[in-house]
Amino acid sequence: MTPIIQASNIGKVYPGGTVANDAVNLTVMPGEVHAVVGENGAGKSTLMKILFGMEQPTAGTLRMEGREVTFPGPRAAIDAGIGMVFQHFSLIPTFSVYENVVLGAEPRAGIRFDRKKAISDVRALSEKFRLKVDPLPPVGAIPVGQQQRVEILKALYRNARVLILDEPTAVLAPQEVEELFVALRALVAQGRTVIFIAHKLPEVLAISDRITVMRGGRTVGEVIASEVTERSLANLMVGREVALRVDRSQTDGPLRCAVEGLRLVAENGVTLAEDLTLNVHGGEILGLVGVEGNGQAELLEAIAGLRQAAAGRIALEGAEVGTLSVLDRRGHGLASIPEDRLAKGLAPGATVAENLVATRLDGPRFVRRGILDLKAIRDQAVNLIERFSIRVGGPDFTVDTLSGGNMQKVVVARELAEQPKVLLVNQPTRGVDLGATQFIWKSITDARDRGAAVLLSSADLSELLALSDRLVVFYRGRIVAAFLNSDGLTPELLGSYMLGLEKQDPATLKAALR
């Protein structure tokens, strides 16, 4: 049988000298589900972009059904029957679902856009492939799982025979993942082929037929899913034995962060979260579990001072901080690692030293009477670069020259430099390679062992299970369950609470919340 896609010896070298792909081989058979796994930076995204025509390979050939092809742009790939669903959706929020699906290939009557036909076409497609979604509402108003379906419909509308999905499960809860897999199996049954990039090894093993493993820009293995285990896959990805757990906390400290009856409301009055009550003690990591958008990120914002609470109390170290500014709360020993380091955690055009001191510009240590103490700033920067093994030429280099993992280290270094008492962490290792991930995990547990109370939010359930001492589950803006972390706690169990299918009894909940 001829492979439907055959990438041979693909190389991609970027103008700056970065080698993203080096002699990469990928063979995908028609009608199969093929996963491409690897750490961040392994080159998977680049390979997919080449397949979709968004990048051009500097070496190697691409074959579809045996014939050599080149894709100078996405249009060519789309015409050849390749469709791509990105991790960051390319959907226009104010356009309706059907407008998003047909954009670029609209049915026409002369020069007129035939909206009626578009709507009926989209309806028919969504029924055929079991991707239920209403064509009419604006895409910005529907939940994430449905938005993903719109993305898939976009590809199917253009008669994609090969669907490439980039980390599709990153935003889904376990049960939603199951629904996605049902849809993928339906696609395969209809004769389509699916390629997807993934991180989460259990899912990869559950859905794929064959798996290609990439590391450092090269393919290091092509295996059949039924013949491998999670551990052996991880080793292939990293090339060394990977420790997937950290030590549980040994100490139990004083109450450092207390939230009571917190209610968070959006600008338009919609309640984002309510009745949030929890306590976090020094020396423990509390994991915030939940599908993204159920209140975890908002809670962290509220504690940090970036979001005003409509009701309820927040106390740090026993002191009420609800009315204090971000800076004042930091003065109480609060530190926070934000979700999106490039958007919120760093100023890419500023130097490493400037980024490292950015949160401490109101204190006496680096600023005296409004004037910067350049020597103190520099010394701290040199110190932190050493301590956190940040790979950079020096403190005066701009942050945008660093790799993703090192950028995150700058953020971590800045936040942990002053031995915080309360540490808020959101998606600490998103887009970070495994080596830096290990280091960051260690930094977080070190902070915990030095007595900090840590609140951790992550879309990666395995990360939460690995790091947390206790976990609370968010659903629809409320805390619906709390657990002590133990071996009996499985992603499936957490998933059922994450989707509101189970509810914990109030007594257990209260006890576990301390």
Partner 1 sequence: MIAAPNRWAEARQEAGRAIAALLVALIVAFVIVLSTSSEPAEAFRTLLTAPMSSNRTRGYWIDDVAKLTLTGLAFSLVFQARQFALGVQGQAYVGGLAAALVALSPVGLTPLAIPVGMLAAMLAGAAYGFLPGYAKARFGASEIVSSLMLNYIAIRMVNYAIRTQLAPPGTGQLTSPEFPPQAVFPAIVPGTRFDLGIVIALVAVGVVWFLLYRTAWGLKLRLVGHNAQFAEYAGIRANAIMVSAMTVSGAIGGLLGSVFVQGKAFGRIAIDFDGNLAFEGILIAIVARSKPLAVPFVALAYGYLRQGAQLMGMRSDVPMEMIAVVQALVILLVASQFTLPGRKALARLFGRKETAT
Partner 2 sequence: MMELLVTVFSATFFVTVIRASTPLLFATMGGLVSDLGGALNVALEGMMLIAALTAVVVSVYAPWYVAVLAAIASGALLGAMMGFFHLRLRADVILVGFAVNILAAGGTVFLLSLATGGDKGTSINLVSKAVPAAHLDFLAAIPVIGPTMHSVLSGHSVLTWAAFLSVFAIWYFLYRTPWGLWLRGVGEYPAAPAAAGIPVDRVRLWSLIVSGALAGAGGAQLAMFNYIGFTRDMTAGRGFIALGAVLLGARHPVGGMLAALLFGVFEALSIVMPGLFSWIPGEMIQIIPFVVTVLALILFSYRAQRARMMKVPVRE
> Which lies closer to partner 2 via its Cβ, residue 140 or residue 261?
140
Q: How many CB atoms lie within 10 A of CB 307?
A: 17
Distance, in Å, from the CA atom of 174 to the CA atom of 162, rounded to the nearest integer, reads 25
Interacting partner of 358 out of partner 1, partner 2, none (Cβ under 5 to 8 A depending on kind):
partner 1
Task: Identify residue 152 by its one-letter amino acid code.
Answer: I
Q: Nearer Cβ to partner 2, position 91 or 453?
A: 91
1 or 111: CB nearest partner 2 = 111
Name which of 78 and 280 has its Cβ closer to partner 2. Answer: 78
Question: Could you tell me the CA-to-CA distances from 476 to 179, 294, 298, 507 in Å, in that order?
Answer: 20, 5, 12, 20
Structure tokens at 25: 């081989």
Q: Does 266 bind partner 1 (CB under 8 A)?
A: no
Residue with token string 């239920």 = 132
How many residues bind partner 1 (CB under 8 A)? The answer is: 43
Host H or E run for residue 145? helix 144-157
| Whether 413 contacts 440, CB under 8 Å | no
CB of 272 to partner 2, least distance (A): 11
User: Is the CB of 270 or the CB of 371 nearer to partner 2?
Assistant: 270
Residues that bind partner 2 (CB under 8 A): 73-75, 78, 84, 86-95, 99-100, 103-106, 108, 111-113, 139-141, 144, 147, 154, 170-171, 266-268, 292-293
What is the spatial distance between Cα 179 and Cα 133, in angstroms, rounded to a whole number?
13
Closer to partner 1 by CB, 99 or 354: give it: 354
Q: What are the CA-CA distances from residue 210 to residues 50, 82, 119, 216, 308 (Å)?
A: 20, 19, 36, 20, 49
C-alpha 237/C-alpha 43 separation (Å) is: 12
Alpha carbon of 191 to those of 24, 152, 269: distances in Å? 26, 15, 47
Residue closer to partner 1 (CB basis): 283 or 345: 345
CB of 99 to partner 1, least distance (A): 27
Piece of the chain touching partner 1 by CB under 8 A; list 26-34, 49-57, 174-182, 361-369? 361-369
Quick one: 92 or 326, whose CB is closer to partner 1? 326
The number of beta carbons lying within 10 Å of the beta carbon of residue 257 is: 27
Output the smallest distance, CB 116 to partner 2, in A: 13
Least Å from the CB of residue 251 to partner 1? 29
- 68 interface partner picked from partner 2, partner 1, none, CB below 5 to 8 A per type: none
Does position 130 interact with partner 1 (CB under 8 A)? The reply is no
Closest CA to 164 of 307, 279, 379, 7: 7
Task: Assess contact for 308 and 477: CB atoms under 8 A.
Answer: no
Among 282, 272, 290, 33, residue whose Cα is nearest residue 163: 33
Q: Which does 359 bind (CB under 5 to 8 A by kind): partner 2, partner 1, none?
A: partner 1
In the bound state with partner 2, the residue whose beta carbon lies nearer, of 106 and 502, is 106
Which positions from 295 through 354 interact with partner 1, judged by CB under 8 A?
304-306, 325-327, 330, 336, 338, 343-350, 354
CB of 267 to partner 2, least distance (A): 3
Query: Does 421 interact with partner 1 (rule: CB under 8 A)?
Result: no
Does position 403 interact with partner 1 (CB under 8 A)? The reply is yes
Should residue 391 be labelled a site residue for partner 1 when binding is judged by CB under 8 A?
A: yes
383 forms part of the interface with partner 1 (CB under 8 A): no
Q: Which residues contact 304 (CB under 8 A, 6 or more apart)?
A: 326, 329, 334, 336, 424
Q: Which residues within the stretch 221-260 sit at the binding site for partner 1 (CB under 8 A)?
A: none
- Let me know how long the chain is: 514
CA distance 372 to 365: 9
Q: Which residues here bind partner 1, judged by CB under 8 A? A: 16, 304-306, 325-327, 330, 336, 338, 343-350, 354, 357-359, 361-362, 366-367, 370-372, 374, 382, 391-398, 401-403, 406
